[in-house]
Amino acid sequence: MSSLIKEKHRNRTMLIVEGVYEKEYLFKSMLMAFNELSIDEDDVWVYKTNIYVLIQSIKNEYGENWYLQDIDLPLLVSRNDSSIATSYKSEFTDIYLIFDYERQDKRFVNIDIERMQSAFMDSTDNGKLYINYPMVEAYCDFSSIPDRSYLLKKSNSCIANGHEYKSAVENSVVKGFVGLPNVIEDILYTNGIEDYKNKADMILKAAKVTPELIENIIRENNDNDFKFDKALCYLISAKYDEYVKGVYSGDYYSRLRNLYRYIILTSLQKIQHILGGYKELTVYNALDLLKEQNRCAADASNGYIWIVSTAVTIITDYNSRLINVCGKDEDTY
């Protein structure tokens, strides 16, 4: 994704995400699916640690009543990261924060995380916080598409660490599909194919991917005697077929958009199920959701966490029409 916005001006959207995965996989693929989003890669900042470290940093800066203050999060984060130019809240129209629940962290305190959520409810003010339960990989936790069991999926509140949950969703249909562009790029790159990103993009835009098509794309702009191992064409074709099988129809990007629409709508339906329903599908109170998760997870022996991704619902904040909330699409639901 090219960097289009270099000068500092107000018409920018900032994402502060917990880790590299959120930037390089989740939001990279969401921007592929919804190119209407005007978010520049330079404005997606990786915080590199969890929400409880961020809360402590805010406490240190703003004092005991931090949750009642006008917090300049871009300034706080940029001052503590030498790789980021000093920035201010006034430079952004919207600020979004994406973090994991991570109840198992020894710094977890109910009141602190609830105050954090309460202080970050408006993207145009301090920012809007999206907490993923138990972590961001919840958007991958589908056994199939559709997955009727997702609405009732829960996680043990005593989950030892993030690796345990990540391992559980490693082979999900969603994770493989979302990661396909990276897989194709890696194969082309490791085989010495020049302009591998553009060639991967051409493959993904094709209505039907075959070894012959891949060979033609690789040979494009090269001499006829250009040498490469044709086996990689069959490898890429096989990987493509493996990951897109059963995920809608059309080229990869059309499938990706429909997949995210399904994930977003199913996540919103689950949130409504957890909270007992709101008047509008796309409207929910993030603080109510957090309090309910805290209540359900409180019992150390029998507690549980509802598995749900809130990060993907950013799309509905941006423009709910992108997921056709008002009109059911048989191909998507």
pLDDT tens per residue, range 202-249? 999 999 999 999 999 998 877 666 788 889 999 999 999 999 998 999
Per-residue confidence at 264, pLDDT binned at 50, 70, 90?
A: very high
Query: Does residue 7 register a pLDDT over 60?
Result: no
Q: What is the largest CA-CA distance in the chain?
A: 70
Cis before residue 181, ω within 30 degrees of 0? no
Residue 189's contacts (CB-CB under 8 Å, 6 or more residues apart) are 196
Q: For the segment 74-96, what is each residue's pLDDT rounded down to a tens digit?
A: 999 999 998 899 999 999 999 99
pLDDT of residue 224: 61
Q: pLDDT confidence of 326, banded at 50, 70, 90?
A: very low
- The one-letter code for the residue type at 3 is S
Give CA–CA dist 311/329, Å, rounded.
23
CB 312 within 8 A of CB 264: yes
CA dist 209 → 136, 206, 214 (Å):
31, 6, 7
What's the pLDDT tens digit per position in 164-199? Answer: 888 889 989 999 999 999 999 999 999 999 899 999
For the CA atoms of 301, 306, 312, 317, the dihedral, rounded to the nearest 10 degrees, stands at -120
Q: Please, is 177 exposed, middle or buried when counting C-beta atoms within 10 Å of its C-beta (0-12, 13-18, 19+)? A: buried
The pLDDT assigned to 300 comes to 82
